[in-house]
Amino acid sequence: RIAIIGSGGREHSICQKIYESRNVNSLFCIPGNGGTENIATNVEKNIKDFEKIKNFLKEKVIDLTIVGPEEPLVNGIVDFLRKHDLNVFGPDKFCSKLEGSKIFTKKICDLKKIPTANFKILNDLKNSIKYLENKKYPLVVKADGLAAGKGVYICNNFLDAKKAVEEIFDGKFGEAKEVLIEDFLEGEEMSFFLLYDNKSFKVFNTAQDHKRVFEGDKGKNTGGMGAYSPSRLISRELEEKIIKKIILPTLNYLKKENGKYIGFLYAGLMIKNNEPYLIEYNVRMGDPECQTILPLLENDFLDVLVNCVNGNLENINLKWKNKKSLCIVLTSKGYPEKFKNNILIENLNNIENNTDQFIFHAGTKLIKEKYYSTGGRVLNIVMLERNYKDARNKCINLIDKINWNNGHYRKDIGYKVIDEIWE
């Protein structure tokens, strides 16, 4: 009896993979979306309301709860549910500071000599501005806490940077006591994932996200417009460096401080000259990376998670399909700014998922067998193919078939691996 907390594309893909597992009897998604409703029971609860969630899990005698998004993790849902003798997949509140506080992570980098952008932590506006006057540009200004991807400013000049620190100390992302100012890292980004049972870990594949809303990486940052997996950058040698220089020092630190990390760890990396630098940690799977990676997994996913929660991850041998996976996100027109909700999405009922083709829902709801949009990111189209080009063409064909008149998507997802013909 399994419950999944969250309502995005990530959670639908987790739900789907659990649904395919051998040993699942009942599956609940709190609160879920139009897609999860077809394979699980959606449970209308606010994910900030830990007490009500706990009562529900107790009442339904749930054996394992999987936490998808960062916010409840950073707010300590895992500690809370464990205190009530519930089995949970997710890092505890202390470990979740890796994502909840960028400054916490930077301090670990400093202590453990983890390669990352050089940085300075400042605690008032006046000194921050003074510091910025003498710096080289571009540089990066960051709010410390969770900011739904909006607390990072890439600044090309002093005036941009001044505006950024002003906004942060002005409370745009909640009360700010400190600001993080760091060097701009050149290179190519990669998302690197691990599964960790607080004793041993398994690399859980790599991916490349596309954050900007328009083709050619133009326009505003979004939650993610599409991804492909595996990353073109990964090699045995690079993986060894990432583990030795970044992952192990971090896990050793958390262990020494008595943290309990059972869950996914997501390292956002910059790779330059085949050397990894840590940009940030997230304490969960990425979205849309999760939707892109999970269909490649050959193992029984529930079996993997149960072994992880029981501290037996060492016994698991992860197996990946020898295919390329590519995901295109279909958003509401206007996202990440203003967009309309409750727009009917026709044509979805006629399309069946298969082992190489998935439609994962994000902002949808199902009313009387019809799907309506309820958010910025609406659907995730995922295809597994021999190469990225075929996968992308198939995604685009499927989006054409859906033919949603309020939809927007990027046709160039994977351009770095498709146009440069490296395969």
What residues line the site for ligand AMP (CB under 6 A)?
117, 140, 149, 152, 182, 184-185, 189, 211, 268, 279-280
CA 48/CA 70 separation, integer angstroms? 11
Interacting span for ligand GLY (CB under 6 A) from 35-43, 137-145, 281-289, 298-306: 281-289
By CB under 6 A, residue 224 contacts ligand GLY: yes
Compare residues 20 and 280 and give the one whose CB is closer to ligand AMP. 280
Strand partners, 189: 270
Compare residues 220 and 370 and give the one whose CB is closer to ligand AMP. 220
Chosen from ligand AMP, ligand GLY, none, partner binding at 343 (C-beta under 5 to 8 Å by type) = none
Compare residues 96 and 307 and give the one whose CB is closer to ligand AMP. 96
Chosen from ligand GLY, ligand AMP, none, partner binding at 249 (C-beta under 5 to 8 Å by type) = none
Interacting span for ligand GLY (CB under 6 A) from 242-250, 283-291, 328-336, 337-345: 283-291
Residue spans of alpha helices (H) in 286-345: 289-293, 301-309
CA 14/CA 21 separation, integer angstroms? 11
Please report, for the chain, how many H helices and E strands are present, in that order: 14, 23
CA 297/CA 271 separation, integer angstroms? 25
> What residues have CB less than 8 Å from 206, skipping those under 6 apart?
190, 191, 192, 193, 229, 230, 231, 233, 234
Q: Which residue has the tokens 């016994």?
A: 315
Q: Which residue has the tokens 């026709």?
A: 346
E strand intervals along 53-163 = 64-67, 88-89, 119-122, 139-143, 152-155
Compare residues 6 and 276 and give the one whose CB is closer to ligand GLY. 6
CA 191/CA 173 separation, integer angstroms? 25
Compare residues 34 and 276 and give the one whose CB is closer to ligand AMP. 276
Phi and psi angles of residue 289, each rounded to the nearest 5 degrees, phi first:
-65, -35
User: According to CB under 6 A, which one of 37, 182, 197, 287 is a site residue for ligand GLY?
Assistant: 287
User: According to CB under 6 A, which one of 222, 231, 282, 374 is a site residue for ligand GLY?
Assistant: 282
- How many Å from the N-terminal Cα to the C-terminal Cα in the chain? 42
By CB under 6 A, residue 286 contacts ligand GLY: yes
Chosen from ligand AMP, ligand GLY, none, partner binding at 279 (C-beta under 5 to 8 Å by type) = ligand AMP
Chosen from ligand GLY, ligand AMP, none, partner binding at 224 (C-beta under 5 to 8 Å by type) = ligand GLY
Least distance to ligand AMP from the beta carbon of 210, Å? 10
Q: 328 and 396 in contact (C-beta within 8 Å)? A: yes
Chosen from ligand GLY, ligand AMP, none, partner binding at 287 (C-beta under 5 to 8 Å by type) = ligand GLY
Compare residues 15 and 269 and give the one whose CB is closer to ligand AMP. 269
Compare residues 282 and 373 and give the one whose CB is closer to ligand GLY. 282
* Residue count, binding to ligand GLY (CB under 6 A): 6
By CB under 6 A, residue 69 contacts ligand GLY: no
Burial of 1-28, coded b for 16+ CB within 10 Å and e otherwise, reads ebbbbbbbbbbbbbbbbbbebeebeebb
User: According to CB under 6 A, which one of 289, 301, 364, 383 is a site residue for ligand GLY?
Assistant: 289
DSSP 335-346: TTS------EET
Site residues, ligand GLY (CB under 6 A): 209, 224, 282, 286-287, 289
